[in-house]
Amino acid sequence: MTVRGPVIEAQFIETMVLLTINHQSLIATKANRIVRAAQNRAVMEFGSRRAQGYDGAVYGARAAYIAGCNGTACTLADRAFGVPALGTMAHSWVQMFPSELEAFRAYARTYPDQCTLLVDTYNVLKSGVPNAIKVFREEVVPRGFRPKGIRIDSGDITYLSREARRMLDEAGFEDCRIVASNALDEYIIRDLLIQGAQVDLFGVGERLITSRSEPVFGGVYKLSAIEEEGRIIPKIKLSENVGKITNPGFKQVWRLYDRNSHKALADLITLFDEEIDENKPLEIFDPEYTWKRKTLTDFYARRLLVPIFEKGRCVYESPRLEAIRDYCRAQMGTLWDAILRFENPHKYYVDLSQNLWDVKADLLKEYSVY
């Protein structure tokens, strides 16, 4: 993102801009990892009660939906943004009745068309699933519906879901879906599926809504140039920590795609008015290990920065939520699997153009007193 304006105004929005982009990028990234681990099975966002504040829950649910979740148990995110609200029964429903069987019956009579029963209040295989099958037969099928599903929220999901699947199938409910929840994330979901868990939908709570494996998204907002008498003067901030050295100047960001596979090859940061000639080979290089170089051919380039505000006026039409979600899915499709790997992923390159690097090198020399 580039913000160009009077310094006081640009400074005023710093914290809110960073907080918004950092938070929602964080949750979208985590949610997308979980959605990918689930391999075409639906993922529902269930984390509101463990979110870091009200906005954490509501905007987090929106980000999770954009990243590929099917919906959320946060009904406020439905009201505010149209994120589909989803959910199943609660343990308290089961506990309120004298017995699990009576609780299931009352629920099935109320929602025969949407009957998903929570089967782990007492004992999944000895009580929950048998009672669910009984109620599906006695209350759902006679009303002309098929049972929707059962949900398992504790215990060993692999074992319980496989046994439950077998019991449901034997009862003729092959179409009854199994929902699993309980401190899930991309790693646990991956392992459950490798072990043959029979889960059709995942409800994912605390580890998604807080991005537990890495709850910090480290975006920064740095002064990179000032304008004096119409002239842009690039500025730098140095650091012993190489990653904290800023890229000076007024810049553009490009994504370079392979012309055949349409996969993203790298991002390239250039000076704002640079052009990229797609018909010539382009040499790119690592901005830290500058001796690591690569020449691209058969590529095309797309500018990633689009104007949002111009002279204080919003000139951008915000896409609908579904369009943002589609864009996310399409963009994820342009990344190589190696980059999407959960552990030790291949690095996605974000390089600097030679022109930008020259500006940076000059400033490094000018300000450096190493």
Length in residues, the chain: 370
Nearer to a second copy, 219 or 274 (CB): 219
Nearer to a second copy, 109 or 244 (CB): 244
Token representation of residue 105: 């019956």
Q: How far is the CB of 194 from a second copy (least distance, A)?
A: 21
Q: How far is the CB of 235 from a second copy (least distance, A)?
A: 4
Q: How far is the CB of 59 from a second copy (least distance, A)?
A: 6
Nearest one of 36, 35, 37, 58 to 47, comparing CA atoms:
58
Nearer to a second copy, 116 or 131 (CB): 131
Local structure of residue 138 (DSSP, 8 states): I
Cβ-count burial 276-308 (b if 16+ within 10 Å, e if not):
beeeeebebbbbeeeeeeeebeebebeeeeeee
- Alpha helices (runs of H) in 283-343, residue ranges in sequence order: 321-332, 337-340
Token representation of residue 356: 């930008």
Nearest one of 124, 66, 74 to 100, comparing CA atoms:
124
Nearer to a second copy, 175 or 214 (CB): 214
Q: How far is the CB of 1 from a second copy (least distance, A)?
A: 13
Nearer to a second copy, 2 or 52 (CB): 52
- Provide the 3-class DSSP secondary structure of residue 131: helix
Q: How far is the CB of 92 from a second copy (least distance, A)?
A: 4
Nearest one of 12, 4, 11 to 250, comparing CA atoms:
4
- Residue ranges binding a second copy (CB under 8 A): 7, 11, 14-16, 18-19, 22-23, 26-27, 48-60, 74, 90-92, 94-96, 120-123, 126-127, 154-156, 182, 206-207, 210-212, 215-219, 221-223, 226, 235-241, 244, 367-370
Nearer to a second copy, 235 or 329 (CB): 235
| Residues 33 and 342 sit within 8 Å (Cβ to Cβ) | yes
Helix (H) or strand (E) holding 159: helix 157-170
Q: How far is the CB of 201 from a second copy (least distance, A)?
A: 20
Q: What is the CA radius of gyration of the chain?
A: 26
Nearer to a second copy, 11 or 354 (CB): 11
- Alpha helices (runs of H) in 294-341, residue ranges in sequence order: 321-332, 337-340
Q: How far is the CB of 146 from a second copy (least distance, A)?
A: 28
